[in-house]
Amino acid sequence: MKKKRKRHGSTIMMFIIISVFLLVFWKQQQEKENELSKTPLPTALHETLAEKRDILLSQALDKGIHVVIVEGFRSVEEQNDLYNKGRTEEGNIVTHAKGGESYHNYGLAIDFALLNNSGATIWDMEYDGNGNGKSDWMEVVSIAKSLGFEWGGDWANFKDYPHLQMDFGLSIAELQKGQRP
């Protein structure tokens, strides 16, 4: 009888030790996540993207293509305004991303357009302003890809043709938790 109680006692002891251990571990994880979620949002385009954007513009210019960057860093507030377009506000739906859900909010995306020979901003993917028989738009896309950009036109679901981004291997969920490249 005495022996049995003793064995019970040690099982309970083990259980308590493991529980305390797990609790401490869990608390540490929570604190780590809290710390990360306090990471401030970026306020500008990531410096690597800024650098590559400038190279993109000059390499396109070498081919006689004028690229205009129409969007870069976008604040969460601006993203929400954009999200409301075509939903609670007038107009067409332009994005599926709410504030904090777009790579633009982390300074990791730019949107481009072209300047045609009369100086107007165009989104015409067939336009061949330099007259080399190739679409200027796709020439820009290929330069962008060579610089390490991912192109929104390659996405399977929602094609975003002016969109170029670099995620540095981070998902939106990870960025929202506070991870930064």
Tokens representing residue 170 in the block: 């981070």
CB of 163 to Zn ion, least distance (A): 3
**Shortest distance, position 109 Cβ to Zn ion, whole Å:** 5
* Shorter beta-carbon distance to Zn ion: residue 71 or 128: 71
* Residue 53 Cα distances to 64, 84, 85, 141, 167, angstroms: 16, 28, 27, 12, 15
* Distance in angstroms (rounded) separating the CA atoms of residues 58 and 123: 19
Q: Give 111 or 136: the residue with its C-beta nearer to Zn ion.
A: 111
Minimal CB distance residue for Zn ion? 163
Q: Which is nearer to Zn ion, 66 or 163 (CB)?
A: 163
Q: Which residues make up the interface to Zn ion (CB under 5 A)?
A: 109, 111, 163
Q: Is 82 helix (H, G, I), strand (E, B) or coil?
A: helix
Query: CB of residue 48 vs Zn ion: minimum separation in angstroms?
Result: 17
Which residue type sits at 90? E
Q: Which is nearer to Zn ion, 78 or 128 (CB)?
A: 78
Q: Which is nearer to Zn ion, 101 or 111 (CB)?
A: 111
How would you label 11-45 residue by residue, b for 16+ Cβ within 10 Å and e otherwise?
eeeeeeeeeeeeeeeeeeeeeeeeeeeeeebbeeb
Shortest Å, Cβ 59 to Zn ion:
20
Decide if 51 contacts 93 (C-beta within 8 A).
Answer: no
Smallest distance from the beta carbon of 19 to Zn ion, in angstroms?
A: 48
d(CA 154, CA 161): 8
